[in-house]
Structure 1
């Protein structure tokens, strides 16, 4: 039997996407194990989720380090000590240094609550409404040095309803996040997903710029 993909998950908050991963791995839907969950905030509820699942946890408080570079260097060491095959950003509220991104190039995934390249950054649900978008959603992408700019792997697309608010959109997008993030991790763990010279590839074929699209 093949060795399962060793995943390290980075969080800053509640860890709902972490929970989705834990659940899907427990269902044997993903040939992976979560080797550790690392948070930059000791109060992050996601740490409790990890502990309840018997997963090793670590807190690295960014405020205890002299600058972003020193924190990221310590984070690299912690992840490398755990021999991660894949690093999953699950609500990790830190902008990563170029050195960190380069170190884990091709094995660093993030999820963003918009249909990238639209609405990079924060407040995506309000911005989608302000722009009059008819569709909204979320994107899993490989992380590169450009913020929210790495090649997309998969997107979940939902319609924007006339009576939607930022809160109602966020709620519906969350549901889709919990579906597509474990899916992307499964593809990587199965050896089907990789970052090629021209972008994300699935089963050896280049994915479109927006990634695989799943509509709801």
Structure 2
């Protein structure tokens, strides 16, 4: 079971959301955490860019938001993390959610937070990792795509998968239309994945994440759906 490191006197694990831009998934997480029964508290938002639009949105919701500019550190990831880690500790952070955070971490930082740091990627991993997954999906001609919440590992978009959401890919889709539909799914699954992690309902078995509770829902999704009587 993946269990957050709990500070004494706290009832919910404290979460940091790391962003670099608009913070749409950040907003979904903050909104979810406003519900009293949600098992985690959004304690701080940190951006590596001072011009990230999400900072103002977080502050408007009463969430502490700060900037640790990564540009001055250049490619020195460890030096950036040497500033980031104390900021996380100062806010008593136990879990991290990456929301469009455009900065890679060192293996050492990832290992420190392994099992406690989530990311969301707009494809059905392990398909289409890395940059421009929407174009990758369209160029491959897949009939479904979606979003994946996964634990962060040193390898890009390769950590144990926590949750996935699926959308149908339409013949007339563009990168923009597919991205918009997938984003709606992202906003649904990211809070649910954080809830599972914060409530201790996940366990890691090597490179695979398992749930400690049964999952209900449809067992199949077929696309394209043919009209009844069509086909073989």
Contact 1:154 1:214 in 2 (8 A): no
Question: 75-84 or 169-178: which moved more?
Answer: 75-84
Distance 1:167 1:49, change over 3 A: same
Larger radius of gyration: 2
Moved over 3 A (4+): 194-198, 213-216
TM-score (norm 2): 0.85
- In the alignment, does 2:210 pair up with 1:201? yes
| Equivalent of residue 83 in structure 1, options 75, 92, 100 | 92
Structure 1 residues 48-197: aligned runs within 5 Å:
48-65=56-73, 67-197=76-206
Contact 1:157 1:214 in 2 (8 A): no
Q: Aligned Cα RMSD in Å?
A: 2.2
Shift in Å at residue 195 of structure 1? Answer: 3.2
Task: Tell me the alpha carbon deviations over residues 26-57 of structure 1, each in whole angstroms, 9 at most, x when there is no partner.
Answer: 13352211111000001111101110111111
| Partner Cα distance (1:169, 1:29) in 2 | 32
Distance 1:38 1:158, change over 3 A: same
Partner of 1:210: none
| Partner Cα distance (1:134, 1:197) in 2 | 30
Q: Which structure 1 residue ranges, 5 or more long, are not aligned? A: 208-212
Q: Which structure 2 residue ranges, 5 or more long, are not aligned? A: 1-8, 223-232
| Count of aligned pairs between the two proteins | 210
| Equivalent of residue 38 in structure 1, options 34, 46, 50 | 46
Partner of 1:5: 13
Question: 16-25 or 58-67: which moved more?
Answer: 58-67
Describe the SS at the equivalent of 1:47: helix
